[in-house]
Amino acid sequence: GKIRSGGVAMAMQGSGISGVDVGSATIKLNDDGFYALTIGAADMGTGCDTILAQMAAECLECDVDNVIVFGADSDASPYDSGSYASSTTYVTGKAVEKACLELKDHLCEIGAQMLDCAKSEVEFTGQGIETLVGQKSVSLSDIATKSMCGNNISTQVTVSHSSPVSPPPFMVGMVEIELDKETGQVEILDYVAVVDCGTVINTNLARVQTEGGIVQGIGMALYENVQYSDKGAIAENSFMQYKIPSRLDMGKLRVDFESSYEETGPFGAKSIGEIVINTPSPAIAHAIYNATGVWQRDLPMTPEKILMSLPEEL
């Protein structure tokens, strides 16, 4: 009395709101040679503090442990539109990249003065400034000390960035279900997702975001129902009535990434925050259609709705 079938869906999203969102970052060389990165985007569990620190470390050619991140504080942080609209990695990340490049230029200028040569004759090495010829060098700690006395060049840089475009990430989701003809119950057996979010900055964080978004999408597709009484009271006012999927409801989740390069993004990155919730509902609806011949148009696709829509000959 059960039918197994598959469904597929493709989706696209955006990377921030073009011409609107603003991301800002402040990067500072501390007096001990470490860096302090201050951002206005809040880490809501997406790992943006880690990702932005990784970007800064890549730009400044140092270990990520050498970058101290100060999270969003509206009294102290540079302005940022906020962690919404899939914008943080793409918009704020670009601000971090620009700020680090500007800071490197300032450090080269201070280092050149200390080495008594032109800025064009030195390069940034990650550990300090070194001459192109003769191998003379000064360390970051020395530059930090020099910046405290008789110095007119800032070792703290703040940059804001806003993008005129919003390059879309893409995702395909494929699901295998088992549908019980007697009850209308749908069980997820296997879900495979492939995401193109440009260059993946942190594979582990991108993977868990994708898995979490898929689980949320499955909940939206099959479980999470909101009903009101005639007086406006919500029937599902606790987790006893408002069902969200648990790990036991998920079957197998498989995630892979198709790498691409987005020229306008930091290190070629696009967003991943919201795209990952978009494919479960249409993919599951497609699978239910393949099993029953009936399209489900309302969410959630509960067993009752499915059972009531089944043709008698099924």
Domain edge (last residue) among 139, 161, 183: 161
pLDDT at residue number 247: 81
199 and 116 belong to one structural domain: no
At residue 201 the predicted structure's pLDDT band, cuts being 50, 70 and 90, is very high
292 and 233 belong to one structural domain: yes
Summarize the confidence of residues 180-201 as an average pLDDT.
96
Tell me whether strands 67-70 and 35-39 are parallel, antiparallel or unpaired: parallel
182 and 207 belong to one structural domain: yes
Residue 256 resides in a domain: yes
Residue 282 resides in a domain: yes
113 and 235 belong to one structural domain: no
Query: For residues 102 and 91, what is the distance between their CA atoms, to the nearest angstrom?
Result: 17
The secondary structure of residue 133, as a DSSP letter, is S
184 and 281 belong to one structural domain: yes
Owning domain of residue 92: 23-161
Average pLDDT, the chain: 95
pLDDT at residue number 250: 83
Q: CATH code at 85?
A: 3.30.365.10
pLDDT at residue number 45: 87
Following DSSP, what letter does each residue of 152-205 receive, concatenated? -S-SEEEEEE--S--PPPEEEEEEEEEEETTT--EEEEEEEEEEE-BS-S-HHH
172 and 304 belong to one structural domain: yes
37, β-bridge pairs: 27, 69
3-state secondary structure of 122: strand
pLDDT at residue number 106: 97
204 and 237 belong to one structural domain: yes
182 and 129 belong to one structural domain: no
Domain edge (last residue) among 134, 161, 188: 161
130, β-bridge pairs: 123, 137
Tell me whether strands 122-124 and 252-257 are parallel, antiparallel or unpaired: unpaired
Query: For residues 303 and 160, what is the distance between their CA atoms, to the nearest angstrom?
Result: 50
| 313 pLDDT above the threshold of 80 | no
Query: Per residue in 18-52, pLDDT tens?
Result: 999 999 999 999 988 899 999 999 998 889 999 99
pLDDT at residue number 196: 98
38 and 54 belong to one structural domain: yes
Query: For residues 189 and 5, what is the distance between their CA atoms, to the nearest angstrom?
Result: 10
35 and 153 belong to one structural domain: yes
Angle at 198 between CA 195 and CA 200, to 5 degrees: 80
Query: For residues 53 and 66, what is the distance between their CA atoms, to the nearest angstrom?
Result: 9
Residue 314 resides in a domain: no
Residue 54 resides in a domain: yes
Query: For residues 8 and 6, what is the distance between their CA atoms, to the nearest angstrom?
Result: 7
Helix (H) or strand (E) holding 99: helix 93-114
Maximum distance among all Cα pairs of the chain, rounded to whole angstroms: 89
Query: For residues 214 and 188, what is the distance between their CA atoms, to the nearest angstrom?
Result: 12
**CB neighbours (10 Å) of residue 310?**
16
Q: Which pTM value belongs to this model?
A: 0.90
Residue 235 resides in a domain: yes
234 and 270 belong to one structural domain: yes
Residue 72 resides in a domain: yes
| 314 pLDDT above the threshold of 80 | no
At residue 207 the predicted structure's pLDDT band, cuts being 50, 70 and 90, is very high
Angle at 41 between CA 260 and CA 19, to 5 degrees: 65
Query: For residues 308 and 297, what is the distance between their CA atoms, to the nearest angstrom?
Result: 13
At residue 153 the predicted structure's pLDDT band, cuts being 50, 70 and 90, is very high
pLDDT at residue number 187: 94
142 and 66 belong to one structural domain: yes
Residue 207 resides in a domain: yes
Q: What are the angstrom distances between the C-alpha of 239 and each of 115, 244, 247, 251, 280? A: 66, 8, 15, 21, 22
| 137 pLDDT above the threshold of 90 | yes
How many domains is the chain partitioned into structurally?
2
pLDDT at residue number 248: 82
Tell me whether strands 186-196 and 252-257 are parallel, antiparallel or unpaired: parallel
54, β-bridge pairs: none
Domain edge (last residue) among 130, 161, 192: 161
Query: For residues 299 and 286, what is the distance between their CA atoms, to the nearest angstrom?
Result: 13
